[in-house]
Amino acid sequence: MSIIKAEQGMLTIRCNNEIVWIEPWGRDALRVRACKQSQMPEEAWALENKGEFAAEIEAGPEGGYIRNGKLTAKVSRAGALSFVNQKGELLLEEYFRNRRDITSPKCSALDVDAREFKPILGGDYTLAAHFESDPGEKLYGMGQYQQPYLDLKGCELELAQRNSQASVPFLLSSKGYGFLWNNPAVGSVTFGKNVTTWRAQSTKVLDYWITAGDTPAEIEESYASVTGTVPMMPDYGMGFWQCKLRYQTQDELLNIAREYKKRGLPISVIVVDFFHWPYEGEWKFDPEYWPDPDAMVRELKEMGIELMVSIWPTVDYESENFKEMKENGYLINTERGFPVGLRCFTDTLHFDATNPEARSYVWNKVKQNYYDKGIKVFWLDEAEPEYSFYDFDHYRYHLGPNVQIGNIYPRCYAQTFYEGMEAEGQQNIVNLLRCAWAGSQKYGALVWSGDIHSSFESLRNQFAAGLNMGIAGIPWWTTDIGGFHGGNPSDPAFREVLVRWFEYGAFCPVMRLHGDREPHKAPMSDVRGGRCASGADNEVWSYGDEAYEICKKYMFLRERMRPYTEQLMREAHEKGSPVIRPLFYGFPEDKKAWEVEDQYLYGADILVAPILYAEQRERRVYLPEGVNWTEVWTGKGYEGGQTITVDAPIDQIPLFVKDSALLEVLNP
């Protein structure tokens, strides 16, 4: 049987050559760690704010428990764990099928342990953690996956970072708990009907955090209290962002900005995309195409437009910085063959963002060549990092093998810039990244959904991804409006995709137009910063008169919503609240609200029912019970708790507000 003790403010278990620690960590929450080493590893990973919470603990030969607020962990005499809330309701329990305790109803000859450590060469372990599955449970969060499922029950998810996939391993359960897999190892999770299993390919320790709450909001706020919240979104972040792949010259970009101002259109941010540099890893403008960045920044600021500049973590072998960075250990290592991370035009290696010295080196280059010129917001692309081949076992970082710690790279990448900008006295920091892990939010990470296709199918995937990212603790999220790959501005079918996506984008945390449109424009040259082609025009006037008028309508609507959006951003900053929310977040007592997967709340007062299919001109909308709703475009009132059918002409996204709130703002 297990040796169960109360010591040093936690419940400890020794069982089968395994050490288990269960300790209070935050409000109504516990952290669970287990290892088969002589000492417990000390890394906190995503958990940085433990707080001072005294737990009630009892331990004895027949078992024990530890209680912190609304959450209690019970341990059996065989060392099996279960978790209950303050009402005694079972939230989660480990799955084991062995004969360690023959009196248990789970006693079985299958010989499956709840916590399975299997040694691998090098002294570490593959890990599997098994939990009982409740088939009626709904699960949300986990980050961003390219699939249309909001409820993740029944899904298998890779715990790894890829272009358009962000593994942020926090989930919220309909049973009233939140669960963080606090392990940055590459692995997977299966939310099966019969069992839930978390796996790590290489690790030293099992580490997870669990909290109980009466509402989804309470759970999210508890999670944010231990992992951090986003800064306050700066004012320019709440307006319209113009971007394309790619403005090729300084004159081209300035002419676009001038045209927006000439037309009287609201624009807050414009973007210099990739290959404005001579070589990857030089982090400076190519003077042939960008001759006077200081003057460019000044003119844009005079127009009230913030300039965002693309940064890649890749370093070209021909870069002026490559040799120095390689010799100092500032680049990732490969385990075999010729060292290459990503091949774009030539061979490159990524800088090692897990190395503090490498972070300092890169920031100093960026500060000298961008920040000191007045550029205060960065597009941190390739943040996974993206590899030409996703052979995760091929790469090694300062902190360890990629398979063991690789998921933390995008957080370290965001940290590089956040800490550099903070040291310069900047507040309200926001930088755009393509990936994130738990805790990225506190480093000002605005995550977008990567290089996705331009189609309604892709739009449906982003709809689910954005809501699950918010639940996973990443409230700042956006997409390439219209999608990234493909899409011809003269194609009527694509114009419909663009318009419907634009309407939806007005009610995303950040409204950002981007894409690689067809047909492409030729490169400016075959050397340095001129090597990269450019997509077709991607400004709001590029899609014909009808689309232009619709885009204008929603750009100005977004401007009118600024005070409301600012309120939502303050809630995200202060409490960790998602900006966009599934219906159940605002109406947890409404059972129907847990079933709806194609509507959402923009904050507490606006219900959005986007059009997600081609040629759709009406749709059914569920109005949550307990409040009265007003349709924005008609002013018609409805009692909550019913499903209605509403018109959706091409220029209208179905919108409803609580009790006529914001009606004059949305439709003056």
Q: Catalytic residue numbers?
A: 381, 384, 451
627 HSE (CA, 13 A, CB side)? 19
Q: What pairs with residue 195 in β-bridges?
A: 132
Tokens standing for 439? 């805790």
Q: Where are the beta strands (DSSP E) in 69-186?
A: 71-76, 81-84, 90-93, 115-119, 125-132, 139-144, 156-159, 166-173, 177-181
Distance (Å, whole) CA 526 – CA 319 = 16
| 618-639 as b/e: b if 16+ CB within 10 A | ebebbbbeebebbbbbeeeeee
Question: Would you call 72 helix, strand, or coil by DSSP?
Answer: strand
User: Residue 170 in contact with residue 223, Cβ under 8 Å?
Assistant: yes
Distance (Å, whole) CA 225 – CA 649 = 43
Contacts of 347 by beta carbon, 8 Å cutoff, 6+ apart: 316, 317, 338, 340
Contacts of 443 by beta carbon, 8 Å cutoff, 6+ apart: 411, 414, 415, 417, 418, 419, 429
Q: What are the φ and ψ backbone dihedral angles of 422, each rounded to 5 degrees?
A: -65, -40
Question: Would you call 320 helix, strand, or coil by DSSP?
Answer: coil
DSSP secondary structure string for all residues of 619-667: EEEEE-TTSEEEETTT--EEESSEEEEEE--TT---EEEETTTTHHHH-
Q: What are the φ and ψ backbone dihedral angles of 409, each rounded to 5 degrees?
A: -55, -50
